[in-house]
């Protein structure tokens, strides 16, 4: 499989669909897939025509984290520098997802393990098939959670659940993940594709500027004081108020018609 085939990329009506595509390995990450995913998200940063991203997996899994076939200790002469692979491969992608000021929807179509689970949790809105499960597989192989897992799980779930999930590697079902607030929704398996695409398509005709600023504000709230956050809201509202989409939104409301947002 060539590098570009490891992530299928399609732009449909403003939605950039990125499909992790190594189904025989449950879409685990090899180096080519890292680069292809990163290039896809970078494209969403660069192209105004992209107004939402939909990330999903091909086959029966979403993503099983690192391809352990590429880490076979029996074939290595020395221990790998996994800090380097985080620094050069996983972390840049995580940062690109978080800094993209456009909605990133994740449709978890099956098992999400290791970094695969944590990349899903880094997306803005996560839908999962009811049959999907999330596994913090790291402790099974003597590693620590990465791809932002310790940060997201602790903030969202608190220490007791974050520690138990990561230390036991017990699978967490999609419905429980939704009950715990880790994901937005668990949906019937045969509805996942349709629901995720409807959500992404809706965003792709939405007020992209305002949505992006909303993402920035929500992400800043975790570390800001209330005073800092009130100042940030003031500044971002000022910016949003100058957007063409705000003018269109108010005009459309007053004219009792559907707004025609251009994403500016
Ligand atoms: O190394 C670094 O750069 C540091 C960063 C690390 C980040 C990480 O993500 S570390 C965690 C790595 N991932 C795992 O430890 C998960 C390993 N996989 C599993 O535990 C299980 O496969 C699952 C629980 C995810 C799913 O189980 P199941 O029973 O549904 O499927 P399976 O039969 O285990 O897997 C199906 C195939 O996918 C199988 O191949 P085969 O036998 O049919 O040829 C299996 O070997 C392959 N596969 C699944 N996960 C991986 C994988 N191949 C390579 N790497 C994998 N991670």
| Global pTM value | 0.97
**Atom number in ligand 1 closest to CA 68:** 55
Residue 127 lies in a domain: yes
Structurally, how many domains does the chain consist of? Answer: 2
pLDDT of residue 4: 63
Q: Do 77 and 198 share a domain, yes or no? A: yes
Question: Which stretches of the chain score pLDDT less than 50?
Answer: 1-3
Dist. CA 68 → ligand 1 center (Å): 7
Question: Which residue's CA is minimally distant from atom 19 of ligand 1?
Answer: 64
CB of 34 closer than 6 A to ligand 1? no
pLDDT value of position 3 = 44
Nearest atom in ligand 1 to the alpha carbon of residue 143 is 10
Are 159 and 39 members of one domain? yes
Q: Residue 60: give the domain boundaries.
A: 7-204
- The pLDDT value recorded for residue 2 is 43
Q: What is the pLDDT of residues 120-145, one digit of tens each?
A: 999 999 999 999 999 999 999 999 99
- CATH, residue 250: 1.10.12
What is the structure's pLDDT at 134?
98
Could you tell me if 183 and 241 lie in one domain? no
142, 216: one domain: no
**What is the spatial distance between Cα 82 and Cα 88, in angstroms, rounded to a whole number?**
10
β-pairing, 133-135 vs 172-173, is antiparallel
Question: 116 in a domain, yes or no?
Answer: yes
- Residue 143 in contact with ligand 1 by CB distance below 6 A: yes
Q: Say how far residue 260 (Cα) sits from the centre of its chain.
A: 27
Q: Of the residues 1, 61, 64, which should be mutated to test ligand 1's pocket, given the most ligand atoms within 8 Å of the CB?
A: 64
> Same domain, yes or no, for 216 and 85?
no
How far is ligand 1, taken at its centre, from the CA of residue 28, in Å?
A: 7
Contacts 24+ apart (CB under 8 A), 74-77: none
146 plus 237 within the same structural domain: no
Full 3-state SS string of 19-32: EECCHHHCCCECHH
Candidate of 26, 80, 117, 147 to mutate for ligand 1, largest count of ligand atoms within 8 Å of Cβ: 26
Pairing relation of β-strands 7-12 and 15-20?
A: antiparallel
């Amino acid at each position: 499989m060539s590098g570009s085939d490891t992530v299928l990329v399609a732009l449909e009506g403003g939605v950039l669909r990125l499909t992790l595509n190594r189904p025989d390995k449950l879409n685990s990450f090899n180096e080519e897939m890292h680069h292809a995913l990163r290039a896809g998200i970078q494209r969403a940063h660069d192209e105004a025509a992209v107004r939402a991203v939909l990330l999903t997996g091909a086959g029966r899994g979403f993503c099983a984290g690192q391809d352990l076939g590429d880490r076979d200790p029996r074939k290595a002469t020395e221990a790998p520098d996994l800090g380097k692979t985080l620094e050069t491969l996983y972390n840049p992608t995580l940062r690109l997802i978080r800094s993209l000021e456009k909605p990133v929807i994740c449709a978890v179509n099956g098992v999400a393990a290791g970094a695969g689970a944590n990349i899903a949790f880094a997306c803005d809105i996560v839908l999962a098939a009811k049959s999907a499960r999330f596994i913090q597989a790291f402790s099974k192989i003597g590693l620590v959670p990465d791809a932002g897992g310790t940060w997201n799980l602790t903030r969202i779930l608190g220490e007791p659940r974050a520690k138990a999930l990561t230390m036991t590697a017990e699978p967490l079902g999609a419905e429980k993940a939704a009950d715990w607030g880790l994901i937005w929704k668990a949906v019937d398996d045969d509805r996942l594709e349709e629901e995720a695409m409807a959500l992404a398509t809706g965003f792709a005709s939405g007020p992209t500027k305002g949505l992006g600023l909303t993402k920035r504000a929500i992400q800043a709230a975790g570390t800001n004081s209330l005073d800092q956050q009130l100042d940030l809201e003031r500044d971002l509202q000022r910016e949003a108020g100058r957007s063409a989409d705000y003018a269109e939104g108010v005009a459309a409301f007053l004219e009792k018609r559907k707004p025609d947002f251009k994403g500016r």
